[in-house]
Amino acid sequence: MELFTDEYFMNEALKEAQKGYDADEVPVGAVIVCDNKIIARAHNLTERLNDVTAHAEMQAITSAANYIGGKYLNECVLYVTVEPCPMCAGALGWSQISKVVYGAKDEKKGFSKIDYQMLHPKTRVFDGVMQSECSAIMKQFFKEKRK
């Protein structure tokens, strides 16, 4: 009765990415899950907020902490469509999140290129969940941008 799989939640993160896409934001989406329940949803808002730090993960961390009423997310899992950047990985490290699942790798700006130690030592990381869908929406976005 594994109703809630990694694919299920990644698909929810992809819906957020699509909202970003529709709003002309770089289409990265994230959800944070606690006890199989989505407690935060976010997409990239750097254009709308005029804020380079407004990545999906940053929004989701703040929103999840508000929901929980505590700053640590050590009972929570983050699903994000694209590999977190070092800024977000640092923030996820501070949050002590228990697990990070991402879809597409970011060869240029992904944190794993630089340093895995940014995350909390107890945080487990999984990648490649719905990778092709997650990278397809990014490719489409940048293809449209170049037109």
Q: What amino acid positions are annotated as catalytic residues?
A: 57
- Element (H or E) spanning 64, and its range? helix 56-68
Q: Does residue 104 interact with Zn ion by CB under 5 A?
A: no
Among 41, 43, 55, 120, the residue binding Zn ion under the rule CB under 5 A is 55
User: In this chain, which stretch among 47-55, 73-81, 99-107, 116-124 interacts with Zn ion, using CB under 5 A?
Assistant: 47-55
DSSP 12: H
Give the nearest distance from C-beta 90 to Zn ion in angstroms: 9
Among 13, 26, 88, 119, the residue binding Zn ion under the rule CB under 5 A is 88
Give the nearest distance from C-beta 12 to Zn ion in angstroms: 19
Distances (CA, A) of 108 to 3, 60, 85, 101, 102: 34, 23, 9, 18, 15
Q: Does residue 85 interact with Zn ion by CB under 5 A?
A: yes
Q: Does residue 119 interact with Zn ion by CB under 5 A?
A: no
What is the DSSP code string of 81-114? EEPPPHHHHHHHHHHT-SEEEEEE--TTT-HHHH
Strand order in the sheet with 37-43: 37-43, 29-34, 76-82, 99-104, 124-127
Give the nearest distance from C-beta 2 to Zn ion in angstroms: 30
Task: Please say which residue, 46 or 96, places its beta carbon nearer to Zn ion.
Answer: 46
For Zn ion, the binding residues (CB under 5 A) are 55, 85, 87-88
